[in-house]
Amino acid sequence: MSAIRVRGLRKAYGGVAAVDGVDLDIAVGEVFALLGPNGAGKSTTVEILEGHRKRDAGEVEVLGGDPGRASAAWRGRIGIVLQSATDAAELTVREAVRHFAGYYPDPRDPDEVIELVGLTGKAGARAGRLSGGQRRRLDVALGIIGRPELVFLDEPTTGFDPEARRQFWSLIRLLAGEGTTILLTTHYLDEAEALADRVAVIAGGRIVAEGSPKTLGGRATAEATVRWVGADGPQVRRTADPQNLIVELSRHEELAELTVARPTLEDVYLDLIGERA
Amino acid sequence: MSTVAIGAARGRLELREFFRRKEAVVFTFSLPAFILVLLGSVFSGDMVDAGVSMSQLFTASMVGAGILSTSFITLGVGVATDREDGTLKRLRGTPMPAAAYFLGKLVLVAVASLAEVALLLAVGVLLFDVELPTDPARWLTFAWVFALGVVSCSLLGIAASGLAKSSRSAPAVMNLPYIGLQFISGVFINPIVALPAAMVGVASFFPLKWICQGMRSVFLPDGATALEMAGAWEHGLTALVLGAWCVVGLALCLATFRWTNK
Ligand SMILES: Nc1ncnc2c1ncn2[C@@H]1O[C@H](COP(=O)(O)OP(=O)(O)O)[C@@H](O)[C@H]1O
Ligand SMILES: [Mg+2]
């Protein structure tokens, strides 16, 4: 069953296309990453799916409904983690989370959610006095307090230090483990690789590749680069079948410092978004 | 939860946020009282006609200006801020009914405005020998002038919030008409008959003049009608003008309200 189904989604700003014919299928329970550079159209796509922006064209179905005509009941089933909100600055973390719990028919326990995002020590602190990373965790708490079936996260870890990012990743895995469908956008490769069941690479408003992080862009089947130091010095050979090559070579000589490399996700990604000549 | 229950919860939350915000408490809430203390003291002891002192005249008029501050300024700045800091965007992504947001603002404005009136009257009673009326009819007048004034100015504030490009510019955008109107509506300059008739003529198109006149009719003796342009309290006309602004304000809100800056 699909949680999100998008066909031919288009959106232009002042005649310039920001999203230019996007198709997406995201299954229930899946963690899906929309990966792309700045300006690729990630936020525009996600905000249309959240019901925050209007689309110019295309079919969009999110949890069986059209986000452009969202009902309160539909909104109660999704969770949106905002990217740069500074609201509720005068409220404490606990006040804010408790208040938002009151909007939903079957909310999670506010104190448990605060614990889950690691803000228990800051529960009595005003939201406006939190550090950047703590503030984003409050945004996550407010996004998941309603026990959503589907959570949207738009570049959730931008500006995090590595430690905060790891903590955040385990939180996402925890939600995914509970069966929550997750759509996240990121311009960090390692984030998509670490979290997503499936990745779509978006550039210039179009999906340029889609697949699991392992198979993305034909990565698993691409030619491997085999390097070794033989009798005549360092050697490099490209092949689709490195195993055979190595067996063949090792009959004749000692293969010192042997390495076999597939293109990294980064190589594939940079090719896809056209950042490499 | 019902819309009313959520609206009430939002009202409590809004009040908490308002009174924790320094600039709101200082500029929106305390400033009218501060100005009343200054103006009332400068002219203390001056008597105008009809056994009314200047400070009493200032007190009654400032009650009108005070509720304009706690309604128009509070919402003009507050909604612009909500639009910019993500409050409205966040709410739009929850099942909260849109009406609950406005209900919450109404609770905020009603409570803050009543507290404002209480503060101004306390200043008047303690410093300027203002006597609170005992006649229930006068408090009835207070109730409807207050209600019509708060509702019309709140709606106008919400509509005006869209004029501000950002929450930073919002206080300037809101204060310009507020301060201007206070000069020509008989707040800073009293009695209103001291103003050029043309100026008051302009002020008569806006709510503040009528709110202040209504408040003077509550807190000043009847003889003070001599200090009004028309020589009368003009309750019917007051209700008409304020009621019309409620309708216009609502129409403007419905036509212009946006959940985001985009
Ligand atoms: N509200 C807007 N008005 C005009 N142009 C916009 C607006 N939002 C986004 N854009 C443009 O659309 C393109 C895609 O933006 P966005 O969806 O924010 O990309 P991303 O989130 O991937 O960085 C960019 O070129 C951006 O400048
Ligand atoms: Mg973005």
pLDDT means per 10 residues in chain A (277 residues)? 95 96 97 95 97 96 96 96 92 98 97 95 97 91 97 90 88 94 93 94 94 80 84 86 88 86 81 69
Write down the domain spans for chain A. Answer: 223-261
Tell me the per-residue pLDDT of A27-43, one tens digit each, with 9 for 90 and over: 999 999 999 999 999 99
Cα separation, B148 vs B207, whole angstroms: 9
Cβ-based contacts of A146 with chain B (< 8 Å): 94-95
Q: Which residue of A has its CA nearest to B86?
A: A85
Residue whose CA is at the smallest distance from ligand 1 atom 3: A13
Which two three-digit tokens encode residue B156?
A: 């106008």
Assess whether the C-beta atom of A159 lies below 6 angstroms from ligand 1.
Answer: no
Assess whether the C-beta atom of A13 lies below 6 angstroms from ligand 1.
Answer: yes
Q: Say whether B90 and A52 touch across the interface (CB within 8 A).
A: no
Write down the domain spans for chain B. Answer: 3-256
Minimal CA separation from A103 to chain B, in Å? 6
Alpha-carbon distances, residue B206 vs B175, B200, B211, B261 (angstroms): 15, 10, 9, 28
Cα separation, B112 vs A274, whole angstroms: 57
Q: Say whether B92 and A142 touch across the interface (CB within 8 A).
A: no
How much distance in Å is there from the Cα of A33 to the middle of ligand 2? 13
Q: Say whether A102 and B9 touch across the interface (CB within 8 A).
A: yes
3-state secondary structure of B47: strand
Cα separation, B254 vs B246, whole angstroms: 12
How much distance in Å is there from the Cα of A102 to the middle of ligand 1? 33
Assess whether the C-beta atom of A41 lies below 6 angstroms from ligand 1.
Answer: yes
Give the ipTM of the model, two decimals please: 0.90
Q: Say whether A85 and B90 touch across the interface (CB within 8 A).
A: yes
Which two three-digit tokens encode residue B50?
A: 């009809």
Minimal CA separation from B9 to chain A, in Å? 8
Element at B66 (helix H, strand E): helix B54-68
pLDDT-flagged residues of chain B (< 50)? none
For residue A275, the model assigns a pLDDT of 66
- Contact assessment for residue B120 and residue B37, using Cβ atoms and an 8 Å cutoff: no
For residue A277, the model assigns a pLDDT of 41
Of B168, B169, B188, which Cα lies nearest the Cα of B178?
B188
For residue A273, the model assigns a pLDDT of 82
Assess whether the C-beta atom of A40 lies below 6 angstroms from ligand 1.
Answer: yes
Instruction: Provide the residue count of chain B.
Output: 262
For residue B261, the model assigns a pLDDT of 65
**DSSP state letters, chain A:** -EEEEEEEEEEEETTEEEEEEEEEEEETT-EEEEE--TTSSHHHHHHHHHTSS--SEEEEEETTB-GGG--HHHHTTEEEE-SS---STTSBHHHHHHHHHTTSSSPPPHHHHHHHTT-GGGTTSBGGGS-HHHHHHHHHHHHHTT--SEEEEESTTTT--HHHHHHHHHHHHHHHHTT-EEEEEES-HHHHHHH-SEEEEEETTEEEEEE-TTTGGGGGGSPEEEEEEETTEEEEEEES-HHHHHHHHHTTS--EEEEEEPPPHHHHHHHHTT---
The chain-wide mean pLDDT, for chain B, equals: 94
Residue whose CA is at the smallest distance from ligand 1 atom 8: A44
Cα A209 from chain centre: 14
Tell me the per-residue pLDDT of A164-213, one tens digit each, with 9 for 90 and over: 889 899 999 999 999 999 999 998 888 999 999 999 999 999 999 999 98
- Contact assessment for residue A119 and residue A141, using Cβ atoms and an 8 Å cutoff: yes
Assess whether the C-beta atom of A234 lies below 6 angstroms from ligand 1.
Answer: no
Cα separation, B65 vs B48, whole angstroms: 21
Q: Say whether A82 and B86 touch across the interface (CB within 8 A).
A: yes
For residue A45, give the ligand 1 atom closest to its CA.
17
Cα separation, B60 vs A38, whole angstroms: 58
pTM greater than 0.80 (yes/no): yes
3-state secondary structure of B53: strand
